[in-house]
Amino acid sequence: MEVGAHGRAPLRSFTPMRIGVVSDTHGYFDPRLREVLHGVNEILHAGDVGSGEVIEELVAIAPVQAVRGNVDLASSGLPPALLRPLDGFEIYVVHELPRAQSALREWAQTTQLTGKKATQCEQFLRSFPETCRIVIFGHSHEPCLEILGGRLFFNPGSAGKKRFSLPRTCGMLELLPDGARATILTLERYNEDLPGAIWLPRGGP
């Protein structure tokens, strides 16, 4: 092995794996996704794709893995869920959580404060593959970043057309040597009140 001037191996330059995270497009491809997701290694779509044309547009940016949402037909060929291994992380992608997103947020906040999990929370966590560290989901159209039970729960929000007062967003997942960083990205031209970036260290739950 080549060593540096002081007898140490030179540091290897590291390029993080960048994963674009999209959900609830409902048949609409926002042209801004080409800019926001430029250079990603892969795109994960958490369902309610709405049309094959959306997938075609996303594939022009990067390879796509997608799951079926409640508006997607079974004939679309999309799986209801998938477990995607990427750079040492097992990422589980599903459209809808088995419990409401509001319950997830409440459990995460309570656990952070008390260190204890309710029985319903434990049951919720057991509903996911044991090996997964990151759960990507959609359905609510509301962006969400929470850590619960040593897992990152990541809803990128809706990249489809405007609905009510909810922001139009997508997400970025960066896989780094010591962990994963998730960020919500706006698709609108003004600032939104969005969740801040969240960090998940490598290691077991």
**33: part of which helix (H) or strand (E)?**
helix 32-36
Quote the pLDDT of residue 2.
Answer: 36
Give the whole-angstrom CA distance, residue 69 versus residue 3.
52
- Residue 175 is given by DSSP the state E
First to last CA, the chain: 35
Name the least confident of 25-39, 105-119, 134-148, 161-175: 105-119
- Of 86-90, 116-120, 143-147, 154-158, which gets the smallest average pLDDT? 116-120
27: left (phi over 0), alpha (psi -120 to 50) or beta: left
In angstroms, rounded to a whole number, what is the distance separating the alpha carbons of residues 56 and 53? 5
DSSP 62-128: S-EEE---TTS-GGG---SEEEEEETTEEEEEESS-SS-HHHHHHHHHHHHHHS---HHHHHHHHTS
Domains of the chain: 17-189 (3.60.21.10)
CB of 187 closer than 8 Å to CB of 176: no
> What is the mean pLDDT of the segment spanning 149-178?
95
Task: Please provide the average confidence, as pLDDT, over all residues in the chain.
Answer: 91
Q: What is the pLDDT of residue 13?
A: 57
Q: What is the pLDDT of residue 191?
A: 65
Q: What angle separates helix 101-114 from helix 119-126, to the nearest 10 degrees?
A: 120
Report the pLDDT value the prediction gives residue 10, as an integer from 0 to 100: 46
In angstroms, the CA 79 to CA 125 distance is 21
Q: Which two tokens stand for residue 52?
A: 């094959």
User: How confident is residue 192, by pLDDT bands cut at 50, 70 and 90?
Assistant: low
